[in-house]
Structure 1
Amino acid sequence: MSMNVNGDDDDSTDEAGSFDPSMADMTESEMATAANDLLVAAAASTDTSDSIDLPNEISNSFMQYALSIILGRALPDARDGLKPVHRRILYAMNGLSLKPTTSHRKCARVVGEVLGKYHPHGDMAVYDALVRLAQTFSTGTPLIDGHGNFGSIDNDPAAAMRYTECRLTKVSSETLLDDLNLDTVDFIANFDGNEVEPTVLPAKLPILLLNGCAGIAVGMATNVPPHNLEELMKACILLTKSRLTDGKPLSDKRLLSIVPGPDFPTGAKIIGTEGAKKLYTTGNGGVVVRAVTHFETIGRRSAIIVTQLPYQVNKSALLEKTADLVNDKKLEGIADLRDESDRDGIRVVFELKRDAVPAVVLNNLYKKTQLQTSFSGNFLALMGEGTIPKRFTLRSALDCFLDFRFTTIRRRSAYQLQKVASRAHIVDGLLLALISVDEVIAMIRSAKDQSSAREALTDPKNKQLSL
């Protein structure tokens, strides 16, 4: 089923129901070969002669399109876990100074900034991507603080961008954008050459695993589930210690005991461990997710109460489909069903007939409705400089993030050292001038002009200035 209340349009397909597991069957070498074929075909399509071979032209043009979708729209970068549209939204909001401590700004203003400077695509594609970053039921750690109607788990759409407002959350401001001006990442020209944008954000957290990501490109797809922040940080700390101390590598068994499975923002329970184990060790697999329920007595009848739903399950569609099954006599034992959810949480009630056995009815609900679903995961993301699609395992995804984190820390430290060294050079000169103030004044007065005075003061052969 589809739960994407506000997906990313063509920029980001975040619907678990739209993910085709057959697209995940490519091996890592096959994906690398496919990407290389796309590059070769794109390079071969630059023929400017008047004569055009139509089949070849169609093939080459499609290859260029496929390459654009794979590298520029549908797949996230493994380093910061963001697709280009998400990265550009956050960077534009940072440029507008929409910090967590400032007031909210109209989403239409942000969308206009993104379109005009960085992302020359549809406005609704940008707005839908922005909305998803603010939805607490779509992402476990929202990167945008939304003010207004940003949709609901019942598939209600967000209000128009002229009504809603937004700003950065503390997480996005401090963990993705904090070190951006310290030469931690490279910048490139935007689409018209009038602005620059970062190729990647200096992430301090493994956002790809933390918030997950879904997208369908050409011939390949990704579907990464969200995870628990504390578990990911424990894993990163242990992996880092094993690197720095040259100790025994962290075993897969130990790693999977720290990160036993995904952590979905809507709650629910993961049934079994084999699915998560296969997903984490191969990068491709499925986990069974089941709603959290309990029994209550309402009047003289038993009732099944649902308080947590599987990830990306549409509550309204669930009730509608269940009602159809009851009316068609395909689901027995249910006398009434209703939605009692409010702002305090989800509460779906299935009142049972007096002769019904609650456990039997519940098992039938798991079997015939989306109270139990399967999440098909595929850890596919861009590696290197964001140019090669690769299927990651849990370990390799964390290693990729740690490698990138170490690189950004080294670059930040080198930049800060250079700034301190430059300042120290100026301070040394000022101290030297202060100690030999009379000589400095004499040299300046005897100079013909400002340029001559500067040359005299900076001449290393000048012995008049000495500590």
Structure 2
Amino acid sequence: MPATPPQTPGSARAEERIEDVDVAAEMQGSFLEYAYSVIYSRALPDARDGLKPVQRRILYQMAEMGLRPDRGHVKSARVVGEVMGKLHPHGDAPIYDALVRLAQPFSLRVPLVDGHGNFGSLDDGPAAPRYTEARLAPAALALTENLDEDVVDFIPNYDGQFQQPEVLPSAYPNLLVNGATGIAVGMATNMAPHNLIEVVAAAIHLLQNPAATVEDLMEFVPGPDLPSGGIIVGLDGVKDAYTVGRGSFRTRAKVAVESLGPRRTGLVVTELPYLVGPERIIEKIKDAVNAKKLTGIADVTDLTDRHHGLRLVIAIKTGFDPQAVLEQLYRLTPLEDSFSINNVALVQGQPQTLGLKELLRVYIDHRIRVVTRRSEFRLARRRERLHLVEGLLIAILDIDEVIQVIRTSDDGEQARARLIDVFDLSHAQAEYILELRLRRLTKFSRVELEAERDSLMTEIAQLEELLGSEALLRAQVARELEAAADTYGTPRRTLLLNGGPVTARPSRSGAAPADLQIADSPCRVYLSATGRMLRAELSADAPSGGVVTPTRRSKHDAVRSSVDTTTRADLGAVTSAGRIVRFSPVDLPSVPGNSVQLSAGIRADQYLALTGGEHIVAIVALDAEPPIALGTAQGVVKRVSAAEIGTKHDVELIALKPGDRVVGAAPAPDGAELVFVASDAQLLRFDASSVRPQGRSAGGMAGVRLTAGASTVYFGVVEAEASDVLVVTVAGSTQAIAGADPGSAKVSTYDEFPPKGRGTGGVRAQRFLKGEDTLTIAWVGQGPARAVGTDGTVRVLPDAGAKRDASGQPLDGVIGAVGEIVR
């Protein structure tokens, strides 16, 4: 074996290729190439169709695959594989991420992909591409239509084997409609979605008025329209973005204050800021509550589902102002969020920051070029077709000679040449005639060809006129934009509020939480004769008495019971079952003290969660010293000291006999008088001091002696210093259908009835007319009195001054209750 010749150091050095380069220059060049690739080929959208390259390639490839809205879905993995293998060699993950975003209705204002399966939510990611399916959404067809008519340039793919569009035709301004977000090298874009109908209207206005200003365009596009709805507060930043391409605005969730149940108020969130999910809101609320930056939150429940949409319920603790808590939630959680607009897009391959007018102008110029190229393509095709049709008509007119020429020719080339010479045809016409089928030689075929020729000539004239006039071109673009808006447009979702400055967020994380509790201010709580309660706010120096003049007559104007108290004090509601339920008026509907409308109150039985036919007969203060007097339907009376009630939420005030119920209750000091009115028209008044206070478990004592079949229809307390006290009684028949017979009423002064001893039968209060046998309603109190119907409407009572045992006057309408006027 021959020996290997030794290598000299010089020969080894000769085989190496070493170049000396400047590191700074190499880094600069490599970085510029990388930056250009990221900016142009990946991160920034084109201002014409509003799409990044990966989005454009997805939509184009899906169109090539025939994934139209009227066809079935296919696996997303198949779409990803086709796009990656033919057009986008950057891995399957970014392709699927882009596909998912195109299908998410909370990301795009007009989704471009119709997804089937789990495409994610604002809080969770999508399923793997092997589990989801996709096809084009109807709006995507408007972006990809007419691609076969040479409307845009096509460029080679990454390896030169396939062609792809440089830009999509885009029948509507997709960049403004769906917005965009992306981070490039040294720059980024963040564009808000808008309403398709509004953007199209602005584009048409600019198309017809090229000198329009930004203010003019904002008449059509007043602000973004976010997929999630919500509220945009303040439009100054929006106007800045529309003018110079940069700005910011704040979005707020849409929140309503609702009643969640008895004595429980909550905030119900139905719309959130853009790209903010409910789980993020819940997490931030919990963090703020745990850090003691936020108070007044009792619970947070997410009731969101696909049938009813977003519903986030935030329960408020008793005694806290819902509006004050909401303001803190806006400060401390993403219920209020900011959006920074940075309108950076590619214009002729160069990144530019564009305002509203520039964005619309770039799109309009693109659309005019698309319509022009489409019209030129159609004109050329129709001219070609007309040329062939004219050749066929020549052949059919002399068909026998054409056949003779063809039959006597040696081959196709000779036949083509002889047809050209004999009939003065072009090469294309002669070739088309040689391919003619015999069935085209009928008389009907000739009629069809002549009609087609006339139609083609008309279309050619129209296309030539269109291409010869810029005004007609712009009008055609405007018509197509209007058609797109009519087909794909939807009403605005985001509410725009051009209000004052938004409250600044806290600058210090350790700032003390604001006092969100409702102030313990003076108020008066009313219980209406129809069973509604509300709170009237009074100033600290307002008198405790006096008449409050209502702003207008309304339903539920008669007052059954009222208490002067403070907002956060404890009151007691005495029920017909002999219980007293402790409650605070803090969560009652509140009205100004000078414009009380009892119809705005809440039903007392709902507010206190009463069941089984139990209702409220009176409301009393629990810190008052006078005992509480109760009267029952069976004529029993009892006084209970307020100290006996204690601090329990719900206690029994009287041990009722079977079938008995409480008909009235009120504070009763020793100097007051207790009044019973029975259904047999007997009235008894006696001193409260004759009823000694008893414990809660006692059953009371005899109050009024009732005749057989009679029952108490009214029990009340008349204070010793009270004046202008009236007695109202309403008589009717037990045989009449309820609500059918108004009956008769009488109004007398309280002094007409002499006092009697406890346990007696009292004196007659009204003489029955023919057909009357019972008192249906009675009331004793400080006048003037007010009667209301069963629906709360005011009824007219007779004038006061009737004798105590006189008959009543017939009524025009049925009376449901009698009480005081609002004081």
Identify which range, 447-456 or 69-78, moves more after superposition: 447-456
Aligned match for 1:91, one of 60, 75, 78? 60
2:301–2:314 contact (8 Å) kept in structure 1: yes
The answer to which of 180-189 and 443-452 deviates more is 443-452
The answer to whether the 8 A contact 2:231-2:254 is kept is yes
Aligned match of 1:285? 247
Seq. identity, % = 48
Residues of 2 paired with 1:352 and 1:170: CA distance? 44
Which of 152, 156, 169 is 2:121 aligned to?
Answer: 152
Matched with 1:443 is: 405
Structure 1: how far apart are the matches of 2:275 and 2:422? 70
Please give the residue correspondences for 1:184-263 in structure 2 after superposition, counting only pairs within 5 Å: 184-242=151-209, 249-263=211-225
What secondary structure sits across from 1:451 in the alignment?
A: helix
The residue type paired with residue 437 of structure 1 is I
Q: Which runs of 5+ in 2 are unaligned?
A: 1-16, 430-823
C-alpha deviation, 1:428, in angstroms: 0.7
CA distance in 1, matches of 2:280, 2:63: 38
| TM-aligned CA deviation for residue 223 of structure 1 | 0.5
* Higher RCO structure (Cα 8 Å, ≥6 apart): 1
Quick check: 1:236–1:402 contact (8 Å CA) kept in 2? yes
| TM-score (normalizing by structure 1) | 0.84
8 A Cα contact 2:214 2:356, kept in partner: no
Query: Hey, what's the Cα distance between the residues in 2 that align with 1:361 and 1:427?
Result: 78
Q: Within the alignment, does 1:315 sit opposite 2:282 as a pair? A: no
What pairs up with 1:393-408 in 2 under 5 angstroms?
393-408=355-370
Task: Work out which of the residue numbers 181, 188, 203 in structure 1 matches 2:148.
Answer: 181
Alignment-derived partner of residue 356 in structure 1: 320
Q: Secondary structure at the match of 1:181?
A: helix
Return the alpha-carbon distance in structure 1 between the equivalents of residues 21 and 75 of structure 2.
Answer: 48
Which structure would you say has the larger Rg? 2
Tell me if the contact between 2:297 and 2:314 (Cα under 8 Å) persists in the aligned partners.
yes
| Equivalent pair of 2:298/2:317 in contact (CA under 8 Å) | yes
The one of 63, 75, 82 aligned to 1:113: 82
3-state SS of the aligned residue for 1:52?
A: coil
CA contact (8 A) 1:296 1:303 kept: yes
Q: Is the 8 A contact 2:214 2:242 kept in 1?
A: no
* 1:321 CA drift (Å): 1.4
CA distance in 2, matches of 1:293, 1:438: 84
Asked whether the equivalents of residues 269 and 312 of structure 2 are also in contact (C-alpha less than 8 Å), the reply is yes
2:403 and 2:127 map into 1 onto residues whose CA distance is 69
TM-superposed CA distance for 1:351, in Å, is 1.3
- Secondary structure of 2:256's partner? strand
Structure 1 residue matching 2:209: 3-state secondary structure: helix
Name the counterpart of 2:612. Answer: none
Instruction: State the Cα distance separating 1:446 from its structure 2 match.
Output: 4.2
- Gap runs ≥5 in structure 1: 1-47, 244-248
CA contact (8 A) 2:241 2:247 kept: yes
In 2, the alpha carbon distance for the partners of 1:229 and 1:181 equals: 26
1:104 aligns to what?
73
Q: Secondary structure at the match of 1:287?
A: strand
Contact kept, 8 Å, 1:456 with 1:462, in 2: the verdict is no
Q: CA distance change for structure 1 residues 460 and 311 in 2, over 3 Å: closer, same or farther?
A: farther
The answer to which structure has the higher helix fraction is 1
Distance between the aligned counterparts of 2:250 and 2:301, measured in 1?
A: 25
Name the counterpart of 2:618: none
One-letter amino acid matched to 2:134: C
| 1:3 paired residue number | none
* Equivalences for residues 121-132 of structure 1 within 5 A: 121-132=90-101
Over the aligned positions, Cα root-mean-square deviation in angstroms equals 1.7
Which stretch has the larger CA shift, 450-459 or 105-114? 450-459
Equivalent residue number for residue 351 of structure 2? 389
Distance 1:157 1:441 in 2: 71
Over 3 Å counting, the alpha-carbon distance change for 1:372 and 1:462 in structure 2 is: closer
Equivalent residue, structure 1, for 2:330: 366
Which residue is equivalent to 2:130? Answer: 162
Other structure's SS at 1:425 match? helix
Partner of 1:377: 341
The amino acid that maps onto 1:283 is G
1:21-32 superposed matches below 5 A? none
Distance 1:425 1:367 in 2: 73
Aligned position for 2:416: 454
Task: Pick closer, same or farther for the CA change 1:296–1:461 going to 2, 3 Å.
Answer: closer
Q: What is the aligned residue count?
A: 408
Question: Please, which of 384, 392, 395 is the counterpart of residue 433 of structure 1?
Answer: 395
Task: Tell me the equivalent position of 1:303.
Answer: 266
Query: Could you say which residue in structure 1 is the equivalent of 2:375?
Result: 413
C-alpha distance in 1 between matches for 2:404 and 2:423: 17
Give the structure 1 partner of residue 294 of structure 2: 331
Pair 1:269 & 2:237 matched? no
Match of 2:37 in 1: 68
The structure-2 alpha-carbon separation of the partners of 1:118 and 1:462, relative to structure 1 and needing over 3 Å to count, comes to closer
Matched to 1:84, the amino acid is P
In the alignment, what sits opposite 2:786?
none
**What TM-score, normalized to structure 2?**
0.48
- Residue 436 to residue 264, structure 1, CA distance change in 2 (3 Å): same
Q: Distance in 2 between matches of 1:394 and 1:315?
A: 32
**Which residue of structure 1 aligns with residue 545 of structure 2?**
none
Deviation track 1:108-164 (CA, whole Å, cap 9, x = no partner) reads 0000000000000110110010001000111111000000000012x2111110010
SS of the aligned residue for 1:351 comes to strand
